[in-house]
Amino acid sequence: MRVRPLLDWPDSAASGQGADAGPAAAALDEVARLLEQGPVAVLSGAGLSTDSGIPDYRGVTGTLRRHTPMTYQEFVSSELGRRRYWARSHLGWRTITGARPNSGHAAVAALGASGHVAGVITQNVDGLHTAAGTRDPIELHGSLARVICLDCHSLSTREALDLRLRRANPDFQDLAASRINPDGDVELDDDAVAGFDFVPCDVCGGMLKPDVVFFGENVPKPKVARCYALVDDAHAVLVLGSSLTVMSGLRFVRYAAKAAKPVAIINQGPTRGDAHAAVRLEAPLGPTLTALAARLA
């Protein structure tokens, strides 16, 4: 299943899906009752991290309205593409590594500690679930904190790469970067990119890539199997802050619905999974999840 960069999904007139499809939006006590019936599998998206200063892709101010994410095909086939990615990501890493979990992340961790959340599948690559105390979240699209060599497959830390890139580009840190994107890069003009030196693997000299799933790349099958197993073991699925536009996340909602497991969605804006939702709540995640965790504590 390849991840594709889609801004919108078919509208309700074309597909029968939309903000008004499926069950009506539900109150917070309906979500609480669902969690009381048994532990749920959480599926989180970029909307959960916006309060930590990391934007989403498809919201009202989503970054796909102004930029096209790097694709796997461009990264592996174009030296210019890799230079542009690493230059922009090198500056963007400051924001990602400086981001802190928000109240929504903390509430998910608390719900896990109280036994109401069986596990977390996150589409985010920012590591904030782990930082908030959630145990062993399944990072569906990988993590920006790791770097992989596409030739020898060795893994290293992003901190180690950051030190190497700083040494190779001592004056680059003084550049003023503009807005951060959810995938950890920033907007940067072509002249700045042209002067950036990116580095090879220090083990074999091969091609380095962040250990994340780019658009156009497949999510590893063993990781997908772990997600399905989590859904199998859970009473229900709770979607937090995802438009579910990308099939890599939507398939777990469809899988749960096919198995007659309840699906609850808390998101600001319509999602591609609304037709499968037994409970749909349109609300900001931070205060909503904080209230939910307090009610179930």
Catalytic residue annotation: 141
227 annotated among ligand-binding-site residues: no
- Residue 55 counted as an annotated binding residue: yes
45 is in an annotated binding site: yes
Q: Is 46 annotated as a binding residue?
A: yes
Binding site annotation covers 58? yes
193 is in an annotated binding site: no
125 is in an annotated binding site: yes
Q: 58 near 7, Cβ under 8 Å?
A: yes
Q: State yes or no: 242 annotated in a binding site.
A: yes
Token pair of 138 as six digits:
């399944």
Q: Is 63 annotated as a binding residue?
A: yes
For residue 173, say whether it is annotated as part of any ligand binding site.
no
How far apart (Å, rounded) are the C-alpha atoms in residues 296 and 291?
A: 9
Of 268, 111, 284, 142, the C-alpha closest to 210 is 142
* Separation of first and last alpha carbons in the chain: 38
Is 232 among the annotated ligand-binding positions? no
Residue 124 in contact with residue 213, Cβ under 8 Å?
A: no
Answer yes or no: is 64 a known binding residue. yes
68 is annotated as contributing to ligand binding: no
Region at 22 (left for phi over 0; alpha for psi -120 to 50; beta for the rest): left
| Structure-block tokens of residue 242 | 């995802």
Q: Is 51 annotated as a binding residue?
A: yes
**What number of CA atoms fall less than 13 Å from residue 280's CA on the CB side?**
21
| Binding site members for Zn(2+) | 149, 152, 201, 204
Binding-site members for NAD(+) are 45-65, 123-126, 241-243, 267-269, 285
Known binding-site residues equal 45-65, 123-126, 149, 152, 201, 204, 241-243, 267-269, 285
